[in-house]
Amino acid sequence: MQYERLSDFAGKGPYLLFDFPLYTKVKINTSAETTEDMEILDYNEDDIPNILHNIHFLENEDVRYLKTLVTQEKNFYYYCPFCKRELQIIHKGYELENELPESLLTTYSYMFSMSDEFEEYDEDAAKVSVKRFEEFIDQIFDENRVLQMNLECTSKDKHKFYVIFQLTDDNYLIKTGQYPSIRDFDNSLKEYRKVLKDKSVTNELTNAEILKTHNMGVGAFLYLRRIFEKLIFEQFELAKLENNIDEQAFNEAKTQDKVKILHEKGYVPTYLAEINPFIYAILSKGVHQLGEKECNLHYDTLREAILLILEEKVEMERKEKLKKVTKNELNKIHTRLSN
């Protein structure tokens, strides 16, 4: 998903705090928003209702989310890099000197049709919205428009974390720092490190993630493509060891056809074979043709696809191991019962 404005993170606070790339701008829109409703005041002699239309001017959704994120106590169930497990992480919220007003700025009401008065309400709402936002910023951010959010885990050790945000003059929010690092919070590769024969695969996934956190999407795509290629050639080596593949035909085949050959021999997961027609092409296009922004936009989906391939690979190896163990045990039982 592409995050263009702060309210895009609603419901995804942990991602913004712990995983969102550094130095990426996210817009905070301070313009007023509107909602409309109506109410029946009474009925005329013909039993036709007299309706009052209300247009409510509200603080922008971006501003409302920022206030909620910063001032309210938040409990995130997330991975603690120090505890090496998932648990509650708390942000206690900032206490303000002045209580925050409700998000409603003003309401314009009319009976039959809107008048020129609406424009006055619209202009006043815009001014009040900006004024309120600046008053809030003055309370929360320092004189350089910098905010540090402090968090801690709920273990007995109460490990401390912090995230630093910079607010630009044109109201873009930028995450300029955090501790622990984005890499430290990434626990997605733990199970793969134990089972993958080629340990460089997990290292390169980590490198891809580091590049993504610095908005270097093309380089991240390059690492994902290298991982894809390594997974294919690792399975090729296994097939060759078992004398179950035509080495020359494999080497002469295109990457897509290499995957097809290995799948037909039972050496690659079904999911890899399903996405094979386009995943390598996407990764290659990212490396050679796409810009940083577009690679960053599509990175999470491509990384998730690689992780799904790894999950199926792990499951395949688990099943093969279980088959061998079960076969050996059955042979022992058969031998014992045959005597």
- Listing DSSP states for 225-260 in one string gives HHHHHHHHHHHHHHHHHTT-S-HHHHHHS-HHHHHH
Are 287 and 225 within 8 A, CB to CB? yes
Domain chopping of the chain, boundaries: 1-184, 188-339
Q: What is the pLDDT of residue 115?
A: 82
What span, in angstroms and rounded, lies between the C-alpha atoms of 275 and 106? 52
At 193 the pLDDT is 65
Q: What is the 3-state secondary structure (H, E, C) of 64-101?
A: HHHHHHHHCCEEEEEEECCCCEEEEEEECCCCCCCCCC
pLDDT of residue 192: 65
What pLDDT, on a 0 to 100 scale, did the predictor assign at position 161?
A: 95
Q: Mean pLDDT per segment of 10 residues, for the chain of length 339 residues?
A: 83 88 90 92 82 93 94 90 92 85 91 85 94 93 94 94 95 94 78 64 81 84 88 85 86 84 81 75 86 86 84 79 88 84
Residue 282 near residue 207, CB atoms below 8 Å:
no
Tell me the whole-structure pTM to 2 decimals.
Answer: 0.69
Class of domain 188-339: mainly alpha
Alpha-carbon distance values, 311 to 74, 153, 264 (Å):
32, 29, 19
Residue 168: helix, strand or coil by DSSP? coil
Cβ–Cβ contacts within 10 Å for residue 339, how many?
A: 4
Q: Tell me how far apart the alpha carbons of residues 66 and 147 are, in angstroms, rounded to a whole number.
A: 12
- Residue 24 is predicted with a pLDDT of 85
Show the tokens assigned to 5: 């404005």
From the number of C-beta atoms within 10 Å of its C-beta (0-12, 13-18, 19+), residue 158 rates as exposed
